[in-house]
A and B are shown apart, each in its own frame.
Chain A
Amino acid sequence: MLSILRKSRLKDKEMRVLMLGLDNAGKTTIVKCIMDEDVNTVSPTLGFIIKTIDYKLNIWDVGGQKTLRSYWRNYFEKTDALIWVVDSTDRFRLENCAEELAGLLQQERLLGASLLVFANKTDVNGCMTLDEIREGLRLDDIQSHKWTILPCSAMTGKNLFEGLDWVVTDAKERLFLY
């Protein structure tokens, strides 16, 4: 039993978070900002990046370019939370963004995961409002997942940690009684 307990102690701590969104949404910049790294040196992600926060939160940031999207499902396994990053300045691709998200939410293997939508780049003037995005992504229709939306900025760091807190607290609640 002691070895089982030891293992479960380890497992209790581990969480897997998948960060997805269209290309140029700012996913990598968000991760860098959280890790306190230089946010001015990001280039489009041609693959994926794994970062661990506080030894227990594993964030998988996968590139969002169109060719890469079909591989997203490679990363679904045992995901506790999905962070969907939206570029609030990109009105033009909002519909595209909504379609991609809807597609994801149908995926069987993401069923247990909760959803955090980051409306990114809200430091830029004239970006879309939170309600615009909420409507555009048809978030209120979502039944399958527990979700929330937060305005944020990877440049100023606004709301990033609040978002992570939500993810962790939510996961803990679900973990509590298994």
Chain B
Amino acid sequence: MDAPVEDSDVMLQKVSGGLFDVFFAGLPSALREDDGALRYICDRTQIEKLVGLLEPFQESPQLLDPHLPAFLNPLTSAFTAYIAHPPTDEDAAPRGYYTLPVAVSRLLYTIVKIRGPKIISRFLPNQPHLLEPVTSLFALPITGIDGSWELRYVVLLWLSHLLLAPFDLSTISTEPAEGVTHDLSILEGTGLEKLKLPHLSKRLLALGVSYLSSPGNRESDAAALLLIRISLRRDMRSLGLLDAMVAWGVRAMETVEKQAEARTLFLKTGVLALLAGFLAQGDSETVEKFVPTIFDMVTKIQDEEHEEWNSSSVRRLGMKIYRWVASLTLAHPKERDYIEDIIERLLNALGDRDTAVRLGASKSLAVVARKLDPDMAGDVLEAVMSVYEEDVFFDPPIAKPGQRQSKILTAVTAERWHGATLTLATFLRQRAVRSTEVMVRVVECIVEALKFEQRRSTFAVGGNVRDAACYAAWSLARSYTTPELEAAGDIVVLATEFEDGRKIIQLLATELVVAGCLDPLGNVRRASSAALQELVGRHSGYVKHGIPLVQAVDYNAVALRQRSVLTVARQAVELELEYWTAIVFGLVEGWRGVGSSHDEGRRLAATSLGSMCRMKYSDTEDGLHSLWNRRKFILRRILRRIKEEGRDVEIYHGCLLALAEVLDNISDVSGYSEQIGEDILSTLHNDVFAKLKGNELVNPVLRPELTAEATCRLIRSLAHLTRYPDDSDGSPCPTSELPRKTRSLQLWTAILEASLDRSEEAVLKEAVLAAKEVLLKLSLTNRQELLASWCERIENPMYRRTGQILALGQLFDPDQKVRERVDMSRVLDVLVAAAHRTNEVEIRVAAIKAFSAKGWYDFPEAVVDTILDALDDYAVDQRGDVGSWVRSAAITAAKAHLTSHSDLSEEKHWMFLSKIIRIAVEKLDRLRFHAADVLADIVRTTPVDFPKEIQIPRESPEVYFASLLPLLNNPQLREALLEGYMTSAGAGSDSVLRASRRALLQYLAATTTEHRKEIAIALVAVFRRAVDKTDDRITVPLMEVASLLIDTSLLPLAAIGKRMFALTARTHFKTSSVSKLSAANQMYRSLALSAEGEPWKKEVQAKMVTLLLHPFPRVRMDVADALYFIAAEEGKEEVAEEMEGVDWGRSTAELNPVVAKVKAGLC
């Protein structure tokens, strides 16, 4: 999976200045009139536009910081100005408008969402006198507060900020109007003397309590904050408010309802947030006394599995409360000990199914552990690390001495690993890991977590674990000094596969390099890169080639998987053999390389392994320091994996591809086989294929396409590099080699035959390439037989495959040994026939592809004609324009022929050119560009008189079309070009249609009358051909474009008008196609209007009049519209009047009299 290529941060930074300018330019006029007076209602679109400018900063909040005052001051000042002079009229905001408070809070909320409520609060006005009027906003429907939760949220937030005022509320509270009361019945029985509360605080309490249970998170959060602030105030506390609120809260939590209503759950969540807030924000001497009650209440909900514990928000708040209880009691130890209980609960919550709860628990654990004495903190850490051992199985379960034992993680809980890894990270940030010995174990856990994956049936989990592992590595790098980390000395971590001891810093760096290059998830690669940077930056000199390493495994470079696995990995590996070894382990072992669960991932890994074989260091002959030892090392590792895990189709696929890549990369030297050694060679030829029984290539549940692709790929490499003594000089194969040779060739041929019968593109690509290598190795008779059998199969009318056709194409290879003593005329006949198979478009495509060999083969005329025909393949079926596949293949084939054959006649060259140019101006984007590319190539070598350099710019479709139109000057190309052009200008997609029309109109307007006439004549010729063939693909768009050209007087009518008319009449002869009729009608209309003084004008009008009685009402109406217009243009008012108000939908019988009158008037 890929991360966005360019870091959005960086992008945004570049453009942010501009965005801010637009924002500042737009803000004043959105809120105020030109003279500075407040707008009481604000244009909705304008406000939403401003909101839209801010949204992109969601991901990069820090960019807003420098501008916060400038953003917020106009908003808050408008708001306070509104409060000072609220509007007097009582109307709600009209459609399309916001009231000012709603507008301001839309914007404020957007900024809060980006930058967080705490920070934005600081900018809210805090004059105590605002408390009253801001509270009153809730009682002012005119503000729009009932319809905007954003406004309610902002006001609640503002109130909680105002409550920081260092005054007794009684001094600013005014008495209410007569009869105003506030429902505080909920505080009944809490011992609160309500009468003593200042009126203002009653109002605030009522507000807070009512929004605490709001379903909207934001509102409820702000209400909780408001209640926390007010209850913790000195003056309110002394009136007993805090005690009352806690009592109320605990009581609210205890009410168990049979049917837990949604609203109750919201209330309970709100109450928990409130209680957690009390514990977190109150002075310990004030809130300590509530600890037992609150703690018991929460544990009861958890232990008795109350309904609400199913809510992740409730569990998250529970973790928070545990944390504060622990903090409070650790600071002032009491008789009762909560700590152990709490730690146990937090540890269990590390495996919670909800990420936020896991995060909360891990954070709480770290906070608690920091306050514990070192021994106990160590115990907690132990407990966290033991998570990595839970439910781990070993394979084999009991290892014999010296035997490899691998960990099986299928049964572990990925969530618990995630929680534990997060906790490790937080512990590290707080330096809670205090001994070197423990640090080593922590590093082991990080390494394991960094490569954690668990496959579920259709997807894999563990990305979050690996991400957390990067975070842990990052924290470790940041929080510990170099000496502290080096103190552990050389350690061996089994999970790295390295057997020699290394220092912690280097070991982690190497593992991060592997994750940065090979992890399938873009965000993990990026996180690894960030952690690596921290590690190298903070401990400079302790990571080999640290600086170039960080530059290679760069944050942006690792965004794309392909680039990471191929390029970045190579750059990192070049620096140091240790990185090479680690990357090779990563590619060969585990699930990130050839064992990946993504097909493409395995292919990439194989390619990357291939390039690993070419890496050179300042080598000696020693161990991995020798080039050939390294190559053998890779081969042995892959072969071992095939032996141990080859039953798994995906691993088999990845390993075989990798073997092939490696072989291709090392076989270019003579004597490589001695270097590799007989043992490896024999394994390659025999054992690798040993598991195949045949059905692996056929049975759909075994994913045969993977086995087919991979075996063919390997066969190609093996066949290519195997030199049997009798290959070149014809001397007989020594008897000792014979069995091996025969066995291999039989096996290869069998696999090849099975694979050529498949239809997947990836398989055929490999099978066809393998076919050539195998053909080259077969004995002459065997080869003849094989080819003859393919020819026979292809000729069979029941044949529906394409593999054999494509394989025959390999016979046109430059290496003519492949067709030695092959009956080529038979092969050509078979292929030409296949290229003409009607109704089998796939077969036609394959046959044309077979002719695309860029080669030296001297094709007969028949093949050339076949390709020319294919360029005209416009077959359609229910899948659409399937002929375009044939044309596309034909363009490629044409290129191969035109650029390598010199003996084609000039006539054929012109035919190719005109057809390709035609396609280059047709409506299909893909083909248009393909044709244009090929055109640019072939004109360079064409022997005919044609401009050798042709520039076809692609900046816009319009310049593209404009660049090709001058070719109309060429009589050989003119008609073809016009024909293709009509499909774009008459039936192209919207943008193509407009661009091609503009280009055409401009071209015609700028050219000579003479040239316009040539074009007109050519257009008629195209039209005639299309009409002759009743080719609607051309006729309909052509009529549309022609009528446009006639309307704009760019088509000289004198020469062609009459013929145009005649052809148009033929297009709709007996047709029922409305589109054709409507295009024809348009033509008539244009002809009639432009045919001043032409003898055939009357005929056109007469034809139109007959259409007034066409059986289709739709046609009658269209024609009537056109005729009415013509009559008016010609000043024949009486006809126009006659036609006015006629319902052309009536039956033709009824219409007869009118039509007769029109006829009389016009003709």
Instruction: Show the binding face of A for B, using Cβ within 8 Å.
Output: 1-2, 4-6, 9-10, 13-14, 46-50, 52, 55, 58, 62-63, 67-68, 70-75, 77, 107-109, 177-178
- A55-B68, A68-B167, A178-B431 given. 16 additional CB < 8 A pairs? A2-B523, A2-B530, A6-B59, A6-B62, A48-B164, A48-B166, A50-B122, A50-B123, A62-B166, A70-B166, A73-B234, A74-B166, A107-B283, A108-B283, A108-B331, A109-B283
Q: In the assembled complex, which residues on chain A have CB atoms less than 8 Å from the CB atom of B283?
A: 73, 107-109
Q: Does B1131 contact A (CB under 8 A)?
A: no
Q: In the assembled complex, which residues on chain A have CB atoms less than 8 Å from the CB atom of B122?
A: 50, 52, 58
Q: In the assembled complex, which residues on chain A have CB atoms less than 8 Å from the CB atom of B68?
A: 52, 55
Number of interface residues of B (CB under 8 A): 40
**For the complex, what is the distance from the CA of A82 to the CA of B821, rounded to whole Å?**
97
Q: How far is the CB of A171 from chain B (nearest CB, A)?
A: 17
- Given the known inter-chain contacts A74-B166, A108-B284, please indicate yes or no for A4 contacting B471, CB distance below 8 A: yes
**Chain B residue nearest in CB terms to A60:** B122
Chain B CB within 10 Å — which of A2, A108, A178 has the most? A2
Q: In the assembled complex, which residues on chain A have CB atoms less than 8 Å from the CB atom of B167?
A: 46-47, 67-68, 71
Within 8 Å by CB of B128, from A5, A10, A46, A177, lies: A46
Q: In the assembled complex, which residues on chain B have CB atoms less than 8 Å from the CB atom of A63?
A: 166
Q: Does B467 contact A (CB under 8 A)?
A: yes
Within 8 Å by CB of A47, from B126, B233, B467, B481, lies: B126
Task: Return 6 A-B CB contacts under 8 Å, by A number.
Answer: A1-B471, A2-B530, A6-B61, A10-B61, A14-B119, A46-B128
**For the complex, what is the distance from the CA of A173 to the CA of B247, rounded to whole Å?**
43
**Chain B residue nearest in CB terms to A71:** B166
Q: In the assembled complex, which residues on chain B have CB atoms less than 8 Å from the CB atom of A72?
A: 166
Q: In the assembled complex, which residues on chain B have CB atoms less than 8 Å from the CB atom of A9?
A: 62
B527 touches A74 (CB 8 A): no
Contact count A vs B, C-beta below 8 Å: 85
Q: In the assembled complex, which residues on chain A have CB atoms less than 8 Å from the CB atom of B481?
A: 177
**Chain A residue nearest in CB terms to B534:** A5
Complex interface bits, B527-567 against A, C-beta within 8 A gives 1, otherwise 0: 10011000000000000000000000000000000000000
A68 touches B166 (CB 8 A): yes
Within 8 Å by CB of B474, from A5, A58, A177, lies: A5
Complex interface bits, B161-172 against A, C-beta within 8 A gives 1, otherwise 0: 000111100000
Q: In the assembled complex, which residues on chain A have CB atoms less than 8 Å from the CB atom of B527?
A: 1-2
- Of all A-B residue pairs in the complex, the 4 with the closest CB atoms, nearest first, are A71-B166, A1-B471, A1-B527, A55-B65
B284 touches A47 (CB 8 A): no
**For the complex, what is the distance from the CA of A43 to the CA of B616, rounded to whole Å?**
76
Q: In the assembled complex, which residues on chain B have CB atoms less than 8 Å from the CB atom of A47?
A: 126-128, 165-167
**For the complex, what is the distance from the CA of A109 to the CA of B471, rounded to whole Å?**
30
Q: Does B468 contact A (CB under 8 A)?
A: yes
**For the complex, what is the distance from the CA of A14 to the CA of B122, rounded to whole Å?**
13
Q: In the assembled complex, which residues on chain B have CB atoms less than 8 Å from the CB atom of A107?
A: 283
Q: Does B819 contact A (CB under 8 A)?
A: no
**Chain B residue nearest in CB terms to A109:** B283
For chain B residues 769-821, which have a beta carbon within 8 Å of chain A? Answer: none
For chain B residues 36-68, which have a beta carbon within 8 Å of chain A? Answer: 59-62, 65-66, 68
Q: How far is the CB of B237 from chain A (nearest CB, A)?
A: 11
- Given the known inter-chain contacts A52-B122, A108-B283, please indicate yes or no for A1 contacting B62, CB distance below 8 A: no
Q: How far is the CB of A18 from chain B (nearest CB, A)?
A: 12
B530 touches A1 (CB 8 A): yes
Q: Does B313 contact A (CB under 8 A)?
A: no
Within 8 Å by CB of A77, from B66, B281, B531, lies: B281
**For the complex, what is the distance from the CA of A46 to the CA of B932, rounded to whole Å?**
77
**For the complex, what is the distance from the CA of A60 to the CA of B503, rounded to whole Å?**
47
For chain B residues 323-364, which have a beta carbon within 8 Å of chain A? Answer: 331
Q: How far is the CB of B796 from chain A (nearest CB, A)?
A: 59
**For the complex, what is the distance from the CA of A72 to the CA of B234, rounded to whole Å?**
10
Q: How far is the CB of B80 from chain A (nearest CB, A)?
A: 15
Q: In the assembled complex, which residues on chain A have CB atoms less than 8 Å from the CB atom of B526?
A: 2
A55 touches B126 (CB 8 A): no
Q: Does B430 contact A (CB under 8 A)?
A: yes
**Chain B residue nearest in CB terms to A68:** B166
Q: In the assembled complex, which residues on chain A have CB atoms less than 8 Å from the CB atom of B281?
A: 77
- Given the known inter-chain contacts A5-B474, A48-B126, please indicate yes or no for A71 contacting B431, CB distance below 8 A: no
Q: In the assembled complex, which residues on chain A have CB atoms less than 8 Å from the CB atom of B65?
A: 13, 55
For chain B residues 167-219, which have a beta carbon within 8 Å of chain A? Answer: 167
B62 touches A13 (CB 8 A): yes
**For the complex, what is the distance from the CA of A107 to the CA of B282, rounded to whole Å?**
12
Chain B CB within 10 Å — which of A47, A52, A62, A63 has the most? A47
B429 touches A1 (CB 8 A): no
**For the complex, what is the distance from the CA of A58 to the CA of B801, rounded to whole Å?**
74
Q: In the assembled complex, which residues on chain A have CB atoms less than 8 Å from the CB atom of B66?
A: 55
Q: Does B470 contact A (CB under 8 A)?
A: yes
**For the complex, what is the distance from the CA of A63 to the CA of B345, rounded to whole Å?**
44
Q: In the assembled complex, which residues on chain B have CB atoms less than 8 Å from the CB atom of A50?
A: 122-123, 126
**Chain A residue nearest in CB terms to B121:** A50
Q: Does B611 contact A (CB under 8 A)?
A: no
Q: Does B76 contact A (CB under 8 A)?
A: no
Q: In the assembled complex, which residues on chain A have CB atoms less than 8 Å from the CB atom of B166?
A: 47-48, 62-63, 67-68, 70-72, 74
**For the complex, what is the distance from the CA of A4 to the CA of B425, rounded to whole Å?**
11
**For the complex, what is the distance from the CA of A48 to the CA of B164, rounded to whole Å?**
8
**Chain A residue nearest in CB terms to B124:** A50
Q: Does B1090 contact A (CB under 8 A)?
A: no
**Chain A residue nearest in CB terms to B472:** A1
Q: Does B506 contact A (CB under 8 A)?
A: no
**Chain A residue nearest in CB terms to B464:** A1
B430 touches A178 (CB 8 A): yes
**Chain A residue nearest in CB terms to B234:** A70
**Chain A residue nearest in CB terms to B432:** A178
**Chain B residue nearest in CB terms to A8:** B429
**For the complex, what is the distance from the CA of A48 to the CA of B531, rounded to whole Å?**
41
**For the complex, what is the distance from the CA of A48 to the CA of B126, rounded to whole Å?**
7
Q: Does B264 contact A (CB under 8 A)?
A: no
**Chain B residue nearest in CB terms to A49:** B126
Q: How far is the CB of B1162 from chain A (nearest CB, A)?
A: 76
Q: How far is the CB of A144 from chain B (nearest CB, A)?
A: 15
**For the complex, what is the distance from the CA of A72 to the CA of B65, rounded to whole Å?**
27
**For the complex, what is the distance from the CA of A48 to the CA of B124, rounded to whole Å?**
12
**For the complex, what is the distance from the CA of A58 to the CA of B527, rounded to whole Å?**
31
**Chain A residue nearest in CB terms to B168:** A67
Complex interface bits, B687-716 against A, C-beta within 8 A gives 1, otherwise 0: 000000000000000000000000000000
